[in-house]
Amino acid sequence: MIEITDQPIEVQSCIDAVQSERAGAVDVFIGTVRNHNKNKEVVRLEFEAFDTMAVKKMKELADEASRRWPVEKIAIVHRKGVLEIGAIAVVIAVATPHRKDAFDACRWVIDTLKEVVPIWKKEIYENGEEWLEAHP
C-alpha cells in the first residue's frame, strides 16, 4: 500500500496491509498536523504533491528499505489537500521479524521521504502563510 490521497488516512487499513505471519513487529509512524511551528500559531496545512512522481519515489523508498532491513511488508500513505489541526498527514507502517529492524526502517523511511519525495507543505497562520519543505 503506497499512495497519495486527498481522503482521510485509515490507520488501521495501513496496519492491516502490512500484517504477516512472518513478522513479529509492526512499527507505525503517524504524522499529524500540529497547531504551532517556529513560534507561530498554525491554523491549517495545505499539502501539494506531484502524485505520479511522489508515488514512484515512495515505491523506491519501500524497495530500498527492503534491501536494508528484512521488511516483510510496508505501507506509505500521504495526504494532500487542506488538513485541519489534528488531521493525519502521513502514515508509515513497517513489518519485520524483529522490532529493532521495524523501528529503524520506519524511521529511515519518514526521514528520507521528507528529503526526496515531491510533496510540498504550506502552513497557514492567523496572519499569513508560508511554504515549507514537507514535514520539517
* All structural domains of the chain with their residue ranges: 2-126
Residue 14 is predicted with a pLDDT of 98
Asked whether the whole model's pTM tops 0.85, one would answer yes
pLDDT confidence of residue 56: 98
Fold of 2-126: Aldehyde Oxidoreductase; domain 3 (3.90.1170)
Amino acid identity for residue 80 in this structure: K
According to the model, what pLDDT value does residue 133 have? 64
| pLDDT value, residue 136 | 42
pLDDT tens per residue across all 136 residues of the chain: 999 999 999 999 999 999 999 999 999 999 999 999 888 899 999 999 999 999 999 999 999 999 999 999 999 999 999 999 999 999 999 999 999 999 999 999 999 999 999 999 999 998 888 888 654 4
Return the pLDDT at 43. Answer: 96
